[in-house]
Structure 1
Amino acid sequence: MITTVEDYSMARTKPGVLVFSGGGYHDFERGAELIGQALADRFRITHTTKVGDLAKVSGAKFAAVVIYAQGGTMTDAQAKSLEKFVSDGGGLVGIHCVADCFTASNRFKKLLGSEFATHGPITDFQVTVTDPTHPVVARTEDFQITDELYTLKDHSDYHVFATAHWQGVDRPMGYERRVGKGRVIYLANGHDPGVLGNRYFQRLIQRATRVACGETFDAIVRAGIIGYGGAFNMGLHHSQLINDTLGMCVTAVCDVDPARTDQAKVELGDTITTFNNMNRFLRDGEFDMVISILPHHLHAKAAVAAAKAGKHLITEKPFCITLKEADQMIAASAEAGKMLSVFHNRRWDADFHLML
């Protein structure tokens, strides 16, 4: 693990992120750990509690700085260095109490875009996604969280992508602003470890940092449907859900019955390619992920074949028929390095998340 700013050049396998934490009223030690946990699989984390390290980021070539801190002082020279880092293309992610950090620095407050005004009691409230096209919250549903809700005083213009309703006003819970070639993203949640460890918020932390580092999330995940039978019209159902999801589209359909693939073209358009043979579908179809809607006894066969063809796969429930089949499916996807999952239509509900 890299522990100092100067160690940056020793390891470049992942983009570097400098996490700065410290101050009062919050558990910053545990908070920094949880932020690192959210970022670890995508970034190489350097943690510091020294304000002076924020003035070194321009030369150290970090991709982004994440600040989870309260209070403190920052000189104008330090704020100017951080501002230059962002303007030159770096990212800055501020979490929660950063709005109450370095408040004597007008330059920093303008860079961040806002300043803490006040907050209500810790309570349960809904975070509402107001711009579902924004990459930080794309494909993220509104969620409930127990947290301290900040109200802000604006210092710059910004684009809000999430809000919470408090005292008759929709308060910003997440926003982005452009500074030169770089980006600043602020997430208002994050008062305590319970919030920072929340699975929804962990995802937002990682996405915010990825976006701040310049990821655009423009890539389209192409899906191929295998099994377009008429029973319950599940092929059409899944296809419509996929095509209605930002960043996804159906490009191919396979069914042994030519009448069903003809129907798929009627329902989904002539732009899709159709197949009546699974092997040709997996070999020639232009897609990244298979959606398997086959009869139960064929789930394992399709999953193993998809993995060998280098495709991700999501299968309708049940996962398969036997434990042996499950082991074969899991082994094949692991060997191929591809995702394997199963649709459980209640698995992602908030009440199930709470129990888990």
Structure 2
Amino acid sequence: MSDTTGTRIDVTLVAGGMYHDIDFARLELLKLLGEHDEFRVRVQPDYEDADAIAAGSILVSYTCNVRPSERAQQTIRTWVEGGGRWIALHGTNSALDIGTPNGVDAPRAFPVWADTLGSQFVAHPPITPYLVEVAAPDHWLVAGIEPFETDDELYLSEHADRAALVPLLHTTWLGDARGFVEHDWTSGSGQHLVMYLRELGDGAVLYNTLGHCRSHYDMAPAVDYYPKIERGSWEQPAYFELLRRSLRWARGEIT
């Protein structure tokens, strides 16, 4: 592991977007970041202060339908290539057009962003429990994590170069993602990446699609009051273990 004892590490947490309990996720992530005394954390709701992100060593993101400008996309990509480490969670890879005649669309609106992340969200089936399994049992980021069932959004994503990704967690599902324009997922292998590493230059992105959360007031303006509180994988001890290992990875640990 890297010896960072006594060394300040600057971190940016980006938490923002729609249809999720961003306040809840932001607080939980700040608690985890606070377990590292050397982390000095700044928080922003989007990616537009990209120069500040690039001035640090670690980026943690929990966003939904937050579409960075071309300049922000390229600045953050260059930062990753130069050695930056990015923990991207849940909807970071999403661009959503809500209310189209055929449902929720996922426009391919940010090709540089999707390529940097290694994926773009396309759809998810209705929330129901599904099994998450380890794809790389010898990799320290997931070694010893037992298969677990989670009540989360099962991300169906597009990968420009899946061979360039290191799969860590996956799940298997075939079916209809009703409510989305691209809803037919009844063919193919049915295997979907849940967590993976995407190396890029001297840096890397660690993407984890888990982490859905929603409270009563997060569906506005579509719905004024959402009756159900959803916490998804935030109720799973395994998810917190994965996040803690992810932060260790981001600060430079390799085992």
- Scaled by the length of structure 1, the TM-score of the pair is 0.54
2:66/2:94 contact within 8 Å kept: no
- What is the Cα-based RMSD across aligned positions, in Å? 1.9
- Partner Cα separation in structure 1 for residue 40 and residue 234 of structure 2: 19
1:21/1:49 contact within 8 Å kept: yes
Paired residues in the alignment total 204
Matched residue SS, 1:211? helix
The reply to whether residue 207 of structure 1 matches residue 245 of structure 2 is yes
1:91/1:182 contact within 8 Å kept: yes
Equivalence for 2:50: 54
Larger relative helix fraction: 1
Task: Indicate how the Cα distance of structure 1 residues 79 and 137 shifts in structure 2: closer, same or farther if over 3 A, else same.
Answer: same
What residue ranges of structure 1 are gaps of 5+ in the alignment?
Answer: 1-11, 218-356
Equivalence for 1:15: 9
Matched residue SS, 1:26? coil
Give the Å deviation of 1:19: 0.9
- Partner Cα separation in structure 1 for residue 62 and residue 154 of structure 2: 16
Matched residue SS, 1:123? coil
What residue ranges of structure 2 are gaps of 5+ in the alignment?
Answer: 1-5, 97-107, 175-188, 214-230
Give the Å deviation of 1:99: 1.8
* Runs of 4+, deviation exceeding 6 Å: none
Task: Indicate how the Cα distance of structure 1 residues 197 and 89 shifts in structure 2: closer, same or farther if over 3 A, else same.
Answer: farther
Equivalence for 2:203: 182
Deviations 1:22-51 (A, max 9, x none): 111111111111122223212333221142
- Partner Cα separation in structure 1 for residue 8 and residue 27 of structure 2: 18
AA partner of residue 116 (structure 1): F
Of 66, 74, 83, 1:72 maps to 66
Which entry has the higher C-alpha Rg, 1 or 2? 1
Matched residue SS, 1:73? coil
Equivalence for 1:144: 149
- Partner Cα separation in structure 2 for residue 54 and residue 155 of structure 1: 24
AA partner of residue 242 (structure 2): L
Matched residue SS, 2:87? strand
Matched residue SS, 1:74? coil
Equivalence for 2:132: 127
**Which structure is higher in RCO with an 8 Å CA cutoff and minimum separation 6?**
2
Deviations 1:193-237 (A, max 9, x none): 4423532111212212322343201xxxxxxxxxxxxxxxxxxxx
Give the Å deviation of 1:14: 4.6
1:17/1:66 contact within 8 Å kept: yes
2:121/2:157 contact within 8 Å kept: yes
Equivalence for 2:117: 112
**Correspondences of 1:258-337 after superposition (within 5 Å):** none
Give the Å deviation of 1:128: 0.2
1:92/1:212 contact within 8 Å kept: yes
- Partner Cα separation in structure 2 for residue 110 and residue 163 of structure 1: 20
2:58/2:86 contact within 8 Å kept: yes
AA partner of residue 15 (structure 1): I
Deviations 1:147-202 (A, max 9, x none): 11011101233111111111161210100011100011110111114423532111
- Partner Cα separation in structure 2 for residue 197 and residue 28 of structure 1: 16
- Partner Cα separation in structure 2 for residue 206 and residue 90 of structure 1: 18
Deviations 1:285-318 (A, max 9, x none): xxxxxxxxxxxxxxxxxxxxxxxxxxxxxxxxxx
- Partner Cα separation in structure 1 for residue 51 and residue 71 of structure 2: 8
- Partner Cα separation in structure 2 for residue 145 and residue 14 of structure 1: 35
Matched residue SS, 1:191? coil
AA partner of residue 63 (structure 1): S
Equivalence for 1:232: none
2:130/2:171 contact within 8 Å kept: yes
Of 207, 212, 216, 1:191 maps to 212
Deviations 1:47-103 (A, max 9, x none): 211422233222x2x221011101133222111110111111110111111120595
Task: Indicate how the Cα distance of structure 1 residues 16 and 199 shifts in structure 2: closer, same or farther if over 3 A, else same.
Answer: farther
Of 166, 176, 179, 1:159 maps to 166
